[in-house]
Chain A
């Protein structure tokens, strides 16, 4: 398995994110080395417990740590109810959360696998920002940081120009983008295209039924939740796409940009910005995904989900 990408997934809560964690842990297409969690939907501590159970269920009883419970310098109120997540209650696992913060775990993993670790952030960037403070050399040790968030040319989601994850901790995002870490930004420009037609998911559901494992059952449940929430339209699988694209970069064609983040005000708070004026000086700090082949993407997402439902190639 040495040739497989070593992943650390940093995430907040939500059914799409749970599914992404399962894919990272159980598809056999990557090696999930660690999980860190962050505020966003639910509290980080709750999400961490849940994520570890997901990974264990998928056959990767790995290190996990609860990370930041709030943005670097702003207030945050959890939006999710206290009990359970996405309607599924998962079995207890023997594995305990590490007695360290998410930022510490990121630093530890990056130092254990210098130049090999790909960090995928599915929520606000607070943990990575803190990790960069704890280890000033971190930027040079991580193979790549993949950010599922931001937006370059597409409209925002929480404001006309801002994407949720960046808005949740714009100050952390600012520090991360200017850290010198090799970054790939999968923003709304491409995340909005990671939508799978509901009928295409039938094959995944069938594979899950056939596999008949607890992990497969959770995949099925999460998909059902996502299908129900999508109201008959396509099912958004942005986070599964982010995990897949961090392992298979050819899934999203990128262009180099100098990205910065608005950290003041409200209307544009968290907007990921770049100077597009002719002749502007550009200090490239990020590869921004601007194009996906939609048909290929749907096929690959189905492959990832099917592999996860079947329990991967272990």
Chain B
């Protein structure tokens, strides 16, 4: 079992990613760390605890950053995509457990030091927690097994602006800080996550299981799919963004990667928060990450459906 920490800003696809990671026998989830993004950090923690309750899991939740590194927090949530509460209006119960007293950043540092070169960090929200952990304990940069992060759009359009993706634009400096840190990165961006769609028919199968988990997951995924149908007329389902990052850790052969140098545009007006990959024949700088450009969507989806719910 691969030891992983899952860093989330729990909206709906984060919830699917948590379920997938917790229920996949290939992974040992050491803990869930939370940050702001789709929702506030408090809501992300609450939502993560609720999802873990549905999973009958006791995995601890560690709360992290509540605002971006160098910018004022707008407090704007992705209400249209994830609902007012982040879980498609299903966060209507009080979780059984509470967050841990240790914070996300110290938890990440502690785990990485305890198991050098073993821990994979799966970041599916803003990269603020990881950036702060690297600032507090720079020595962990060489001790992280790998960081697999959902974020960015190198060869395809963005989803917040024509060029920027949500997790990066929510804290672009944190992303750039991590990109420059030297940690081994696999970037799971919109280049591949918009090709891995959860078909609406899956929800019927989940409901047919007649379990609390099945109906909960079907409810929140249904909310998510409705949003996709509004935003992308004719689309066959919803993007499995965050679950794909989990999938890449379970089985790296789900994707094909290309080593690239990628930088976040921190100054542009139109290009602000764009993940600019140097695709020239003679790039100026050495690659700083492996960028996923192709995905075996069918095989990944099958594995996801076999395990997540």
A157, A265, A274, A275: the one contacting B268 at CB < 8 Å is A265
CA distance A155 to B272 in the complex (A): 18
Say what secondary structure dominates the interface of chain B.
Answer: loop
Residues from chain A with a CB closer than 8 A to the CB of B276 are 159-161, 267-268
CA distance A263 to B163 in the complex (A): 15
Residues from chain A with a CB closer than 8 A to the CB of B268 are 262, 264-265, 267-269
A-B CB pair tally, cutoff 8 Å: 72
> Which of A119-127, A241-249, A276-284, A285-293 is the interface stretch?
A276-284
Say what secondary structure dominates the interface of chain A.
Answer: loop
CA distance A138 to B176 in the complex (A): 43
Cβ-based interface call for A72 (8 A):
no
Quick one: CB contact mask for B225-237 with A, threshold 8 Å, 1 for yes? 0000001110000
Tell me if A266 and B267 are in contact (CB < 8 A): yes
Residues from chain B with a CB closer than 8 A to the CB of A268 are 265, 268, 270-271, 274, 276
Residues from chain A with a CB closer than 8 A to the CB of B278 are 155, 160
CA distance A268 to B267 in the complex (A): 9
A264, A269, A273, A279: the one contacting B163 at CB < 8 Å is A273
Distance of B177 from chain A, by nearest CB (Å): 15
Residues from chain B with a CB closer than 8 A to the CB of A276 are 156-157, 162
With CB as the reference atom, state the residue of chain B lying closest to A278: B232
Given contacts A161-B276, A268-B276, contact A275 B157 (CB under 8 A): yes
B162, B263, B267, B283: the one contacting A273 at CB < 8 Å is B162
Distance of B228 from chain A, by nearest CB (Å): 11
Distance of B190 from chain A, by nearest CB (Å): 10
Cβ-based interface call for B71 (8 A):
no
Tell me if A273 and B271 are in contact (CB < 8 A): yes
Tell me if B271 and A262 are in contact (CB < 8 A): yes
Tell me if B267 and A265 are in contact (CB < 8 A): yes
Cβ-based interface call for B279 (8 A):
yes
CA distance A156 to B278 in the complex (A): 9
Cβ-based interface call for A190 (8 A):
no
Give the total of B residues in contact with A, Cβ under 8 Å: 27
Tell me if A264 and B267 are in contact (CB < 8 A): yes
CA distance A156 to B281 in the complex (A): 10
Tell me if A275 and B271 are in contact (CB < 8 A): no
Residues from chain B with a CB closer than 8 A to the CB of A274 are 162
Distance of A27 from chain B, by nearest CB (Å): 32
With CB as the reference atom, state the residue of chain A lying closest to B261: A160
Quick one: CB contact mask for B273-289 with A, threshold 8 Å, 1 for yes? 01011111101100000
CA distance A161 to B274 in the complex (A): 11
CA distance A269 to B270 in the complex (A): 10
Residues from chain B with a CB closer than 8 A to the CB of A157 are 280
Residues from chain B with a CB closer than 8 A to the CB of A271 are 270-271
Cβ-based interface call for B269 (8 A):
yes
Tell me if B233 and A279 are in contact (CB < 8 A): yes
CA distance A205 to B257 in the complex (A): 47
A155, A156, A265, A278: the one contacting B265 at CB < 8 Å is A265
Cβ-based interface call for A260 (8 A):
yes
Residues from chain B with a CB closer than 8 A to the CB of A277 are 157-159, 162
CA distance A279 to B235 in the complex (A): 12
Residues from chain B with a CB closer than 8 A to the CB of A280 are 157, 162
Distance of B57 from chain A, by nearest CB (Å): 37
Given contacts A268-B265, A277-B157, A280-B162, contact A262 B279 (CB under 8 A): no
B157, B163, B279: the one contacting A155 at CB < 8 Å is B279
CA distance A283 to B277 in the complex (A): 27
Residues from chain A with a CB closer than 8 A to the CB of B297 are none
With CB as the reference atom, state the residue of chain A lying closest to B268: A265
Cβ-based interface call for B266 (8 A):
yes
Tell me if A273 and B232 are in contact (CB < 8 A): no
Residues from chain B with a CB closer than 8 A to the CB of A266 are 267
With CB as the reference atom, state the residue of chain A lying closest to B154: A160
Residues from chain B with a CB closer than 8 A to the CB of A260 are 270
CA distance A262 to B279 in the complex (A): 19
CA distance A263 to B158 in the complex (A): 19
Distance of B264 from chain A, by nearest CB (Å): 8
CA distance A276 to B271 in the complex (A): 13
CA distance A264 to B268 in the complex (A): 5
CA distance A271 to B157 in the complex (A): 15
Tell me if A262 and B280 are in contact (CB < 8 A): no
Residues from chain A with a CB closer than 8 A to the CB of B270 are 260, 262, 264, 268, 271, 273
With CB as the reference atom, state the residue of chain A lying closest to B260: A160
CA distance A160 to B265 in the complex (A): 11
Tell me if A160 and B280 are in contact (CB < 8 A): yes
Residues from chain A with a CB closer than 8 A to the CB of B265 are 265, 267-268
A155, A265, A278, A279: the one contacting B271 at CB < 8 Å is A265
CA distance A264 to B274 in the complex (A): 13
Q: Tell which of B159, B265, B279, B283 has the most Cβ of chain A within 10 Å.
A: B265
* Apart from A265-B265, A265-B272, 5 more pairs, CB < 8 Å: A160-B276, A265-B268, A273-B271, A277-B162, A278-B233
Q: List 7 A-B contacts (CB under 8 A).
A: A156-B280, A160-B277, A262-B271, A268-B265, A268-B268, A273-B271, A275-B162
> 8 closest pairs, A vs B, by CB?
A265-B267, A268-B271, A265-B268, A275-B162, A264-B269, A160-B278, A277-B157, A155-B280
Interface of A toward B, CB cutoff 8 Å: 155-157, 159-161, 260, 262-269, 271, 273-280
